[in-house]
């Protein structure tokens, strides 16, 4: 189930990412935003639908991954997962909403809302790190394959570097909502959760390390266990022969010896 969900998520999010060109950068005027939305309004609404279904699949992957985590970092993963889903939903509200009435959209309104959408990718980096780090640590403990840990490490480091897009200059590779967010962080986001979902199809005790640390099952003989347990009391049994002898002895009348 998690592997199917991971593949479904990757397909839906991948199509959504490629279906609509990125909004014009923060250095472009509002009129460029209006022109872009009028040209891609139908595709933007389709993108919102794909993201909605993809998020359902993503929740399945996150839930199965959370089940393998323990300790404080499990709570960190839960908080990060919730933040990812909330931020994706909020960004979809704005992009889908802009496409509802493109003919009536003013340039000032379009520029303002597009600026809000542009900050989605830069801020999402923090939530992605909260998700990737617990998976990396769990992979080091043998709860996930090593290749999942490598994917988590690459994703976490890239997202940490991508936080620079929060203050990136307009028109550059690291500008908010620019190429680094859209064409580097976006595909890595999809690949990471695809890898995580596929790995969850493996049994939890697949790791040799876990196999070595797991206690070996014991098969003890119940009869031997009863004899070794001092608290086990054996009920007393009476010999029916002794009862019969007592009754026979007690019931017989011995003749009195005559006294002279």
What residue ranges do the domains of the chain occupy? 2-205
pLDDT at residue 55 greater than cutoff 50: yes
Residue in this structure with the two tokens 């890898």, named with its chain if needed: 195
Per-residue pLDDT tens over the stretch 165-218: 999 999 999 999 999 999 999 999 999 999 999 999 987 665 555 544 445 455
Spatial contact of 120 and 177, defined as CB atoms under 8 Å apart: yes
Question: What is the predicted pLDDT for the residue at 233?
Answer: 52
- d(C-alpha 128, C-alpha 152), whole Å: 10
- d(C-alpha 11, C-alpha 5), whole Å: 10
Mean pLDDT value across the chain = 86
**Mean pLDDT, residues 63-74 taken together:** 95
- d(C-alpha 76, C-alpha 62), whole Å: 12
> In the chain, where does DSSP find H-type helix?
2-19, 30-67, 72-98, 107-118, 120-140, 146-162, 179, 186-199, 208-213, 222-228, 240-251
**Which carries the bigger pLDDT value, residue 63 or residue 216?**
63
pLDDT at residue 223 greater than cutoff 70: no
Quickly state the pLDDT bin for 76 (edges 50, 70, 90): very high
Per-residue pLDDT tens over the stretch 111-154: 999 999 999 999 999 999 999 999 999 999 999 999 999 999 99
- d(C-alpha 110, C-alpha 26), whole Å: 11
Handedness of CA 47, 91, 26, 119 (dihedral sign): negative
Residue in this structure with the two tokens 């989605």, named with its chain if needed: 120
Per-residue pLDDT tens over the stretch 227-250: 555 554 545 555 555 554 444 444
**Mean pLDDT, residues 81-92 taken together:** 97
> What pTM did the predictor assign?
0.78
Question: What is the predicted pLDDT for the residue at 203?
Answer: 79
Of 145, 149, 152, the residue nearest 208 (C-alpha): 145
Question: What is the predicted pLDDT for the residue at 183?
Answer: 94
Question: What is the predicted pLDDT for the residue at 176?
Answer: 97
């Amino acid at each position: 189930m998690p592997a199917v969900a991971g593949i479904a998520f990757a397909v839906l999010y991948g199509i959504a990412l490629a279906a609509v060109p990125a909004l014009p950068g923060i250095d472009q005027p509002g009129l460029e935003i209006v022109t872009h939305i009028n040209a891609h309004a139908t595709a933007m609404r389709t993108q919102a639908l794909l993201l909605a279904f993809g998020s359902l699949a993503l929740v399945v992957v996150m839930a199965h991954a959370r089940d393998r985590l323990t300790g404080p970092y499990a709570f960190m993963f839960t908080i990060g997962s919730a933040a990812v889903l909330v931020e994706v939903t909020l960004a979809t509200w704005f992009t889908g909403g802009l496409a509802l009435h493109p003919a009536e959209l003013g340039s000032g309104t379009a520029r303002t809302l597009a600026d809000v959408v542009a900050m989605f990718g830069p801020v999402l980096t923090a939530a992605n790190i909260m998700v990737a780090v617990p998976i990396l640590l769990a992979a080091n403990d043998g709860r996930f394959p090593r290749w999942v840990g490598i994917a988590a490490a690459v994703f976490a480091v890239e997202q940490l570097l991508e936080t620079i897009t929060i203050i990136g200059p307009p028109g550059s590779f690291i500008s908010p909502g620019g190429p680094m967010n859209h064409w580097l962080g976006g595909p890595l986001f999809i690949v990471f959760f695809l890898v995580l979902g596929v790995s969850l199809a493996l049994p939890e005790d697949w790791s040799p390390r876990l196999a070595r640390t797991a206690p070996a099952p014991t098969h003890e003989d119940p009869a031997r266990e009863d004899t070794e347990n001092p608290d086990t009391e054996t009920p007393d049994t009476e010999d029916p022969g002794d009862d019969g002898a007592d009754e026979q002895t007690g019931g017989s009348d011995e003749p009195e010896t005559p006294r002279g």
